[in-house]
């Protein structure tokens, strides 16, 4: 399968939890699917149709730290400015808060759209990932042909929720999957597994009553570890997705 492989690097980034505003803004350890969708559309210069669009990625950083930002809260006011006849229009307050940042992030993005190579070699908008001020640069844009093999390792990636039953690694988090801009930015959320450590397929948990699927897409240009290449889990932005909790 031919895919587009894009390597993007930056100095800082942050992926804020959408429902958390209590004096500190934590960050997801990896970019949510909705962030990836916005990043793709930024390169294209238009809203891409999400149907049939799939992505996989490998995301790393060099640690995290807290930064201090300020929110300016404005409110309507009446009267005039002190000592003048100039009417007050707005008054407000400056509220500081801490934001967790990721240092030196690196994203290797795989898309099932090799025909979009032109867009990432000459992106329509400035390249950012996360906040609008988190500038990135594309250090590599190419088309690679993935291989379907029985041996692979997985690391620093976003895995489907149900793989938690097979790996016993990583942790589950609820992420924004897609924002529907044609419907008032209606969000869709889904559960994913953030896999921040390496695991080889030979370490997967096997069940007698379940058929095994031992074929994986791998990037043959990735580093080889124990005779295996980097495995890729592809995700969709819309459509059916099984993230319902169940016992093994």
Counts of helices then strands in the chain (DSSP H, E): 3, 17
Residue range(s) defining the domain that contains residue 29: 2-67+98-236
Residue 248 domain flag: no
Cα–Cα distance for residue pair 224/126, rounded to 1 Å:
33
Region for residue 85 given its phi and psi (left: phi exceeds 0; alpha: psi -120 to 50; beta: otherwise): alpha
3-state secondary structure of 214: coil
Residue 79 domain flag: no
Residue 92 domain flag: no
Helices (H), 122-206: 164-167
Burial class of residue 195 (count of CB atoms within 10 Å of its CB; 0-12, 13-18, 19+): buried
- 166: domain CATH number is 3.30.70
Q: What is the pLDDT of residue 70?
A: 78
Count of structural domains, the chain: 1
**pLDDT one digit per residue (tens) for the chain, 248 residues:** 999 999 999 999 999 888 776 778 899 999 999 999 999 999 999 999 999 999 999 999 999 999 888 777 666 566 666 777 666 655 667 778 888 999 999 999 999 999 999 999 999 999 999 988 999 999 999 999 999 999 999 999 999 999 988 888 899 999 999 999 888 889 999 999 999 999 998 888 776 655 455 689 999 999 999 999 999 999 999 999 999 887 65
Residue 208 domain flag: yes
């Amino acid at each position: 399968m031919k895919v587009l492989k894009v390597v993007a690097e930056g100095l800082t980034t942050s992926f804020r939890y959408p429902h958390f505003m209590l004096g500190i803004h934590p960050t997801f350890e990896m970019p949510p699917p909705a962030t990836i969708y916005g990043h793709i559309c930024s390169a294209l210069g238009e809203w891409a149709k999400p149907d049939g669009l799939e992505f996989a990625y490998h995301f790393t950083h060099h640690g995290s730290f807290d930064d201090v930002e300020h929110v300016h809260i404005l409110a309507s006011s009446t009267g005039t400015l002190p000592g003048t006849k100039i009417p007050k229009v707005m008054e407000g307050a400056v509220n500081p808060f801490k934001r967790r940042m990721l240092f030196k992030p690196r994203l290797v993005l795989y898309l099932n759209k090799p025909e979009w190579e032109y867009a990432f070699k000459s992106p329509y908008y400035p390249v950012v990932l996360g906040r609008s001020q988190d500038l990135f640069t594309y250090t590599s844009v190419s088309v690679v042909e993935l291989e379907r093999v029985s041996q692979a390792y997985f690391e620093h990636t976003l895995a489907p929720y149900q793989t938690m039953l097979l790996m016993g690694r990583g942790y589950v988090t609820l992420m924004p999957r897609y924002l529907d801009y044609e419907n008032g930015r209606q969000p869709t959320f889904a559960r994913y597994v953030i896999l921040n450590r390496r695991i080889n397929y030979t370490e997967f948990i096997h069940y007698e009553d379940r058929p095994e699927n031992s074929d994986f897409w791998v990037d043959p240009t990735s580093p080889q570890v124990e005779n295996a290449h980097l495995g890729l889990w592809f995700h969709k932005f819309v459509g059916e997705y099984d993230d319902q909790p169940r016992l093994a």
